[in-house]
Structure 1
Amino acid sequence: MRDLVNAGAVELVAETVKHGASSKEARSWWGNFLVQKANEAGIGLDELAITPAQVAAVVRLVEGGKLSNKLAREVVAGVLAGEGEPEQVMTARGLELVRDDSLTQAAVDEALAANPDVAEKIRAARWLRRVRSSAR
């Protein structure tokens, strides 16, 4: 907490919590990633081009399973760069996590259909491993 006070983040954390983020997540964002970005830019936390409401929105996207923490940092970087609101940045950059297995399966099916020789090599290698392991 001392580091947050020193960085001038207490009000920012409190405001982020008012917008729905947990105090733990708010402290984490303002006390780690955002203080690093402010230091890199040579400015104070309150001068960053991100609001507590936007930080809370990023936290909700992570908690809702739409972003991983790593992808959330990319979204915050986009907000800081002036690319828009967190959800807009996530969509524009194509960062939303895919939770629908049918989309993944469709991509795999398409790749296999486009490369039947590679698919056959993979099947042959699997068959060979099974034969070798059963011979032991």
Structure 2
Amino acid sequence: MDKFIGQQRVAGYLSALKDHHIPQNDDWIFDGDYSYESGVASMQYYASQTDITAVIGASDLAAIGIINTAQKLDINVPDQLAVISIDGTYLVDIVSPRITSVTQSFYNMGETALKMLFSKGNESSHIYTSFQIDERESS
């Protein structure tokens, strides 16, 4: 996982747990990347280690790996396991069940990055762009 982005995502996750008075459990964080294979590996790990009821995939591909592996393990999504992904690309709409996502605007991210690159005097190295949660069939 990209070190900065991965750290930011984990920090946001831990902050959300704290905001909702949910105790932190380091076993709930699977160290992988954004790949389909990481989604498969994480679901295999979680299914053998714990009785999870929800998973946040680090990407749409990882979430697809999670869902496909859950189905092979006879875990019904969303009845037994809710899955949400981060990205919201076209992939979330071409799988079954369609994946609930934290949808980012990659166009806006690219436009913002270029503006930062070409602007003079911009000292900020990190800018957060907007996102939305699109609920679909996996949660």
Instruction: Name the TM-score class by shorter chain.
Output: under 0.3
Bigger Cα Rg: 1
The TM-score, its normalising length taken from structure 1, stands at 0.28
The TM-score, its normalising length taken from structure 2, stands at 0.27
Structure richer in helix, relative to its length: 1
Structure richer in strand, relative to its length: 2
